[in-house]
């Protein structure tokens, strides 16, 4: 997909652009917690800040709140396009918990209207219109960071013991044992020793108070204007960031996993930079102690593989821990007893395994039902869809999982209908796609899609002047063909389908054709004649004059260097295709029983892969182009060979989309 063009944003009422343009105070490094899934927005944010601020990306709203608590202050950036929450409700909850936190919301015009009262009251510090430029993002984040630092400086400094007292207030999770497990453990010969060890471990943990050593990531305090604080050296800043992330991982129980985000790996990353760092070495010892407590719990729960994994992780964190030998012997004893039990009663072991699997599936489905009731249907790892799919993966033929899928598809259809009633067709389309992917309620999906088509046609008939204005606006912005559903060609096609003789349409199409030919000439000058042909074909479809088309095509012919095999476009059939996955038929076209074709040009590289796929023409427009590009991207060929060496070759193909009979 081509990147969206960067346009200037308009600040909401009350925004002072001149103030936003001021740089952040020297040395003020601020924590920016981001809740977004828009890759374009995230890349622009990374480019805009360029290491000037510390960016933490949250997986969901709860994770964002945890990061804000850990950061103590900073900036919160949320994308209103996320479907996993209601933006106004989320903003209110975050503001209630963090009343001094600057909140920046990225979204569309309708999102700004929805949040208008919160913007005017200052609950939302800035509203960032999408698509945004990197400069605009940097200005907004700098303004929010400056406000956060100024408020932190204005507040009286709390004694250092206050943060420690807050950490001490954390309650350690209580160990709850199943009575049946306790009775089984009582029959083991080593129970008295194990019980004494557990008591000793608890007393040792209480006396040592490892939680007092947790280092929360802190924000730099702004200095007085007369003597600004100097920014820490890059190496020290990275070490401090790693130590803060490791401390958070330790407090959240991410001891040895997930990869790259656990306490062991983060503390080791510090020691690679600074082998003598005492805080990192102490953190590894505390991580090992926490892992050994987990080994005890897993052994009591008869989870021998889990206990073995936790013990190995503890050994890697602190090889000199004196308790490793004891737990190794306990683990070996449990393994011997498990082998003896499995040799005597193999059927019982299988039955217990099946019972455990059933319990795991039932727990997943119960959590999925709770997520459905809370409205968290899809779009993340902690949603009803993810939990149900995991249950079905564990047991594909489980009847409870099948019932849950039916219930989830019904909820998705209801969400699609609500979005349709609110006039949000893209969201309705997304819910229908998800429901269709579940493989149930296909008739209901088809009926809703037909209803959406009728509503869109009615909207087109009612507001033709708006379509003409949008087409002219996209031409002025240079958005001629992309994005497919928000381009000048898209709006002129809609208007032509509704009323071919509408006043002003002919002039707009002439302007579009001229703009397309102009873009083609720019591509020819850049040495991209193959890409220029796509715009020439679009100009032809828009009614460009034959003389103008011929002139630009002559420029294309002159721009191709003669005698080079890579610039000579050959039919795709001259090469042998070696990998050819099935072409995906677009659901929207399949539901409407639409057939068509797409003509493409693409390069077969010397290693047989494809690249630079360009759509030259398509019929009908707007249905099959993306599917065609995705298809050729996955194909592989035997490359063309010249003088014994594989070379690149540009090929052309017409890909036909035809529904199966019946």
Q: What is the pLDDT of residue 347?
A: 62
CB proximity list for 154: less than 8 A, separation 6 or greater: none
Q: Mapped to the 3 state alphabet, what secondary structure does 145-196 carry?
A: HHHHHHHHHHCCCCCHHHHHHHHHCCCCCCCCCCHHHHHHHHCCCCHHHHHH
3-state secondary structure of 320: coil
**Relative orientation angle of helices 464-477 and 442-462, to the nearest 10 degrees:** 90
Tell me the CA distances in angstroms from 238 to 189, 213, 273, one per residue in order.
Answer: 50, 20, 9
Q: What pLDDT band is residue 164 in, cutting at 50, 70 and 90?
A: very low
Q: What pLDDT band is residue 9 in, cutting at 50, 70 and 90?
A: very low
Among candidate residues 471, 464, 485, the one with its CA nearest the CA of residue 513: 471
pTM equals 0.27
3-state secondary structure of 637: strand
Among candidate residues 408, 406, 428, the one with its CA nearest the CA of residue 417: 428
Rounded Cα–Cα distance for residues 42 and 57 (Å): 9
Average pLDDT of the chain is 79
Q: What pLDDT band is residue 414 in, cutting at 50, 70 and 90?
A: confident
The fold for domain 17-154 equals: Rossmann fold (3.40.50)
Lowest mean pLDDT among 267-271, 351-355, 645-649: 351-355
What is the DSSP code string of 544-592?
Answer: --HHHHHHHHHHHHHHSPTT-TTTSEEEGGGSEEEE-PPPPPPHHHHHT
Q: What is the pLDDT of residue 397?
A: 87
Lowest mean pLDDT among 11-15, 309-313, 319-323, 463-467: 11-15
Lowest mean pLDDT among 68-72, 203-207, 397-401: 203-207
Q: Which residues are bridge partners to 657 per DSSP?
A: 596
Lowest mean pLDDT among 69-83, 252-266, 497-511: 69-83
Share of the chain above pLDDT 90, in %: 26
Statement: 569-657 belongs to CATH 3.40.50.300: no
Q: What is the pLDDT of residues 433-472, one digit of tens each?
A: 888 777 766 677 777 777 777 666 666 556 788 888 899 9
Lowest mean pLDDT among 72-76, 299-303, 580-584: 72-76
Whether pLDDT at 392 is above 50 = yes
Rounded Cα–Cα distance for residues 478 and 467 (Å): 16
Q: What is the pLDDT of residues 511-567, one digit of tens each?
A: 999 999 999 888 888 778 878 888 998 899 888 888 888 888 888 777 654 444 445
Q: What is the pLDDT of residue 100?
A: 87
Rounded Cα–Cα distance for residues 474 and 489 (Å): 9
Q: Which residues are bridge partners to 31 per DSSP?
A: 54
- pLDDT (average), residues 114-138: 87
Which residue is it, tokens 């308790």?
Answer: 323
Whether pLDDT at 221 is above 50 = no
Sequence ranges of the chain with CATH classification 3.30.2420.10: 569-657
Q: What is the pLDDT of residues 638-661, one digit of tens each?
A: 999 887 889 899 999 999 999 887
Whether pLDDT at 571 is above 60 = yes
Q: What is the pLDDT of residue 339?
A: 73
Sequence ranges of the chain with CATH classification 3.40.50.2300: 17-154
Whether pLDDT at 176 is above 70 = no
Among candidate residues 117, 120, 125, the one with its CA nearest the CA of residue 94: 125
- pLDDT (average), residues 261-280: 91
Whether pLDDT at 74 is above 90 = no
- Taken in order 247, 253, 256, 261, the sign of the CA dihedral is negative
Q: What is the pLDDT of residue 233?
A: 65
Whether pLDDT at 20 is above 90 = no
Q: What is the pLDDT of residue 603?
A: 94
3-state secondary structure of 600: strand
Residues belonging to the chain: 662
């Amino acid at each position: 997909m081509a990147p969206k063009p960067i346009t200037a944003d308009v600040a909401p009422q009350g925004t002072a652009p001149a103030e936003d343009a001021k740089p952040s105070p020297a040395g003020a490094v601020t924590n920016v917690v981001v809740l977004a899934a828009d890759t374009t927005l995230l890349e622009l944010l990374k480019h805009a800040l360029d290491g000037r601020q510390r960016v933490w990306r949250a997986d969901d709203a709860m994770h964002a709140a945890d990061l804000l608590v850990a950061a103590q202050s900073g900036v919160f950036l949320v994308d209103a396009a996320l479907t996993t929450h209601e933006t106004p409700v989320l903003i209110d909850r975050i503001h209630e918990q963090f009343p001094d936190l600057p909140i920046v919301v990225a979204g569309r015009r309708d999102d700004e209207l929805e949040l208008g009262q919160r913007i005017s009251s200052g609950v939302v510090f800035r509203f960032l219109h999408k698509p945004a430029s990197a400069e605009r993002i940097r200005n907004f984040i700098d303004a929010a960071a400056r406000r956060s630092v100024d408020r932190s400086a204005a507040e009286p400094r709390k004694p250092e013991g206050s943060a420690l007292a807050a950490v001490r207030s954390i309650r350690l999770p209580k160990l709850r044992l199943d009575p049946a497990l306790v009775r089984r453990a009582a029959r083991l010969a080593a129970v008295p020793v194990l019980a004494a060890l557990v008591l000793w471990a608890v007393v040792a943990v209480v006396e040592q108070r490892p939680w007092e050593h947790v280092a929360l990531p802190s924000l730099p305090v702004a200095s007085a204007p007369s003597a600004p604080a100097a920014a820490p050296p890059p190496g020290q800043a990275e070490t401090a960031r790693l130590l803060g992330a490791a401390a958070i991982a330790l407090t959240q129980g991410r001891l040895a996993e997930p990869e790259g985000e656990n306490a062991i790996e983060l503390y080791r990353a510090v020691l690679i930079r600074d082998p003598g760092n005492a805080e990192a070495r102490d953190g590894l010892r505390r991580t090992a102690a926490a892992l050994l407590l987990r080994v005890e719990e897993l052994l009591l729960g008869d989870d021998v593989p889990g206990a073995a994994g936790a013990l190995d992780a503890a050994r890697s964190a602190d090889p000199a821990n004196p308790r490793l030998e004891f737990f190794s012997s306990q683990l070996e004893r449990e393994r011997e007893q498990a082998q003896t039990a499995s040799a005597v009663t193999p059927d019982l072991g299988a039955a217990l395994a099946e019972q455990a699997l059933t319990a795991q599936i039932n727990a997943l489905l119960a959590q999925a039902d709770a997520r459905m009731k809370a409205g968290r249907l899809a779009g993340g790892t902690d949603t009803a869809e993810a939990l149900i799919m995991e249950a079905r993966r564990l047991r594909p033929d489980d009847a409870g999982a099948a019932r849950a899928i039916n219930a989830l598809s019904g909820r998705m259809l209801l969400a699609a209908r609500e979005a349709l009633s609110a006039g949000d067709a893209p969201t309705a389309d997304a819910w229908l796609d998800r429901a269709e992917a579940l493989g149930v309620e296909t008739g209901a999906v088809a009926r809703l899609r037909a209803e959406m088509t009728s509503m869109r046609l009615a909207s087109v008939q009612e507001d033709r002047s708006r379509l003409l204005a949008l087409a002219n606006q996209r031409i002025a912005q240079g958005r001629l063909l992309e994005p497919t559903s928000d381009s000048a060609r898209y709006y002129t096609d809609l208007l032509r389908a509704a009323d071919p003789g509408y006043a002003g349409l002919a002039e707009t199409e002439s302007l579009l054709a001229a703009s397309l030919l102009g873009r083609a000439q720019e591509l020819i000058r850049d040495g991209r004649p193959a890409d220029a042909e796509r715009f020439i074909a679009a100009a032809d479809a828009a009614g460009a004059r034959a003389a103008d088309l011929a002139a630009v095509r002559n420029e294309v012919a002159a721009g191709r260097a003669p005698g080079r095999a890579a610039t000579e476009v050959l039919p795709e059939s001259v090469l042998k295709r070696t990998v050819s996955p099935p072409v995906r038929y677009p659901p929207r076209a399949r539901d409407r029983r639409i057939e068509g074709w797409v003509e493409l040009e693409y390069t077969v590289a010397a290693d047989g892969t494809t690249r630079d796929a360009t759509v030259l023409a398509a019929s009908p427009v707007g249905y099959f182009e993306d599917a065609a590009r995705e298809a050729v991207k996955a194909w592989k060929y035997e490359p063309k060979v010249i003088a014994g060496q594989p070379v690149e070759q540009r090929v052309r193909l017409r890909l036909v989309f035809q529904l199966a009979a019946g």
